[in-house]
Amino acid sequence: MPADTSGIIDTRFRTALRRLDRAGRLLKVRSKVDPHLELAAIISKRDADQAIFFEQVAGFSMPVCANFLASHANVLEIFGLDVEGVRQCMLRGCAHPIPPVMVERGPCQEVVLTSGLDLEKLLPVPFHAKGDAGRTISSSIVIAKDPDTGVRNVSFHRLQLYGGNRTGVKLDLGRHLETYYNKAKARGEPLPIAVCIGTDLAVFYGAVAMGAEMPIDKDELELAGGIKGAPIELVKCRTVPLEVPAESEIVIEGYMPPDVAVDEGPFGEFTGYNSTRMPAPVLDVTCLSHRKDPLYYTIIGGERGMLRKYILEASILSTMKKAVPIVQDVELTPGGSVRFHLVIQVKKTLPHHEGLQRNAILAAITSLKDLDWVVVVDHDVDIRNPLQVEWAISTRFEASRDLILIPAARGHEYIPVSDRGLRTKVGIDATFTQEQMQQYDRVTFQDVDLAHYDLTNTPGLLLHPALQEPSD
């Protein structure tokens, strides 16, 4: 079903860069910066804030950019919409995906290298945080096809450099790329993949989608097209049987051999902890292509959460509303790494709505396996305001009755206190019954607009004697 084409959003990478700059939201670092620790340290000073453009990276001619989608303010400039408008684009992507189209050529192949592929010399890949094991590509969007069905998958996986043309490929449990790799491995075959660095930002959002709205038989590039309101344009890769977004800054092509593993990590994770060293498969690069004047992109810190926020909320909401119509809105909280904690707002208006708020807790956990802690509140509580949510818990939640525990369910293996991902899911029903809602009246005041009043806080302007300094 075609999406509403009246709302095409130009989410191309370079359009976004220029929009951020025009809005004063692009911090240009003109000093020469060391990609070893220093560059990421500067990004962390603007965590969840401005975008950054490093003009001079020591040892490389390629500039490095970061933080395009790290804050609501940046996202709103890029989309030219308010928060609700951006959320509508994400919901549109879920409801009306648009398949990509092939084009003859694209800027991502203006320069094509198939020999001398020393990634350590060719790309300004930063060494980000003190606990990291090595230089790591963190903005890498990996494209692959299911060896059985041919369905495309697009997802972020970090690539640690191991010298020459080899990188590690970090595969988290249950991700579609892991499934594809295991299928290829079972046949004793390598899995071809293509990696984009710096591409259409709708593809960024497609690549972080997961859960019930993005099952393994759906193509994330179709979601990206739906978000944008126009198809993503693709070109054929040069050395692997795959296609990549034509507008990409940099493309890495290669194969994941079935029988090679490296020790990967540690790496500073989105959970705020360094990951533990674990075996990971590798990528052997067969081609590096890029624009004539490519920009390298890196992702650290809060951008990883902000990037997921819009699309995961949209997809959770989309799944939940089908199952539990009293659900009005959801909020993934920053303190829960925009992944583990959810607040749900419901509106109970009929007697038979009672209890559905608890079904909503279960529907949320079903829609995204990583959710560990789900709070449900009534429609009069602002779910974007953590103080209001806590107020609802303190006044409408009685633990002996309203606490729901589901032990030993599957969560994320990165949670340090989980049993390798096994985790107790917590549901907190902080809603009133409809009788309680009738019984307990919230304190309200008359609505006034301070703009209509003559107000001042300039010292000494009022003449009342109480405000005069006493004379000795």
The site for Mn ion (CB under 5 A) is made up of 153, 176
Taking the C-alpha atoms of residue 303 and residue 288, their distance in angstroms, rounded to an integer, is 26
CB of 155 or CB of 165, closer to Mn ion: 155
Residue 216 beta carbon to Mn ion: minimum distance, rounded to whole angstroms: 5
Residue 210 beta carbon to Mn ion: minimum distance, rounded to whole angstroms: 8
CB of 176 or CB of 339, closer to Mn ion: 176
Q: Which two tokens stand for residue 62?
A: 């390629």
Residue 240 beta carbon to Mn ion: minimum distance, rounded to whole angstroms: 18
Residue 171 beta carbon to Mn ion: minimum distance, rounded to whole angstroms: 13
Q: Which two tokens stand for residue 29?
A: 């670092």
Q: Which two tokens stand for residue 440?
A: 């307990």
Residue 153 beta carbon to Mn ion: minimum distance, rounded to whole angstroms: 4
Residue 97 beta carbon to Mn ion: minimum distance, rounded to whole angstroms: 12
CB of 216 or CB of 403, closer to Mn ion: 216
Taking the C-alpha atoms of residue 42 and residue 21, their distance in angstroms, rounded to an integer, is 18
Residue 150 beta carbon to Mn ion: minimum distance, rounded to whole angstroms: 12
Q: At what angle do helices 72-79 and 303-323 cross, to 10 degrees?
A: 70
CB of 226 or CB of 302, closer to Mn ion: 226
CB of 153 or CB of 345, closer to Mn ion: 153
Per-residue H/E/C for the chain: CCCCHHHCCCCCHHHHHHHHHHCCCEEEEEEEECCECHHHHHHHHCCCCCEEEEEEECCECCCEEECCCCCHHHHHHHHCCCHHHHHHHHHHHHHCCCCCEECCCCHHHCEEECCCCCHHHHCCCCECCCCCCCCEECCCEEEEECCCCCCEEEEECCEEECCCCEEECCCCCCCHHHHHHHHHHHCCCCEEEEEEECCCHHHHHHHHCCCCCCCCCCCHHHHHHHHHCCCCEEEECCCCCCEEECCCCEEEEEEECCCCEEEECCCECCCCCECCCEEEEEEEEEEEEECCCCCEEECCCCHHHHHHHHHHHHHHHHHHHHHCCCEEEEEECHHHCCCCEEEEEECCCCHHHCCHHHHHHHHHHHHCCCCCEEEEEECCCCCCCHHHHHHHHHHHCCHHHHEEEEEEEECCCCCCCCECCEEEEEEEECCCCHHHHHHCCCCCCCCCCHHHCCCCCCCCCCCCHHHCCCCC
Cβ-contact 233, 221 below 8 angstroms? no
Residue 339 beta carbon to Mn ion: minimum distance, rounded to whole angstroms: 18
Q: Give me the residues paired with residue 406 across strands.
A: 425
Residue 169 beta carbon to Mn ion: minimum distance, rounded to whole angstroms: 16
CB of 27 or CB of 203, closer to Mn ion: 203
CB of 64 or CB of 307, closer to Mn ion: 307
Residue 143 beta carbon to Mn ion: minimum distance, rounded to whole angstroms: 10
- β-strand 341-346 against 373-378: which pairing, if any? parallel
CB of 77 or CB of 220, closer to Mn ion: 220
CB of 176 or CB of 304, closer to Mn ion: 176
CB of 149 or CB of 276, closer to Mn ion: 149
CB of 85 or CB of 241, closer to Mn ion: 241
Residue 219 beta carbon to Mn ion: minimum distance, rounded to whole angstroms: 7
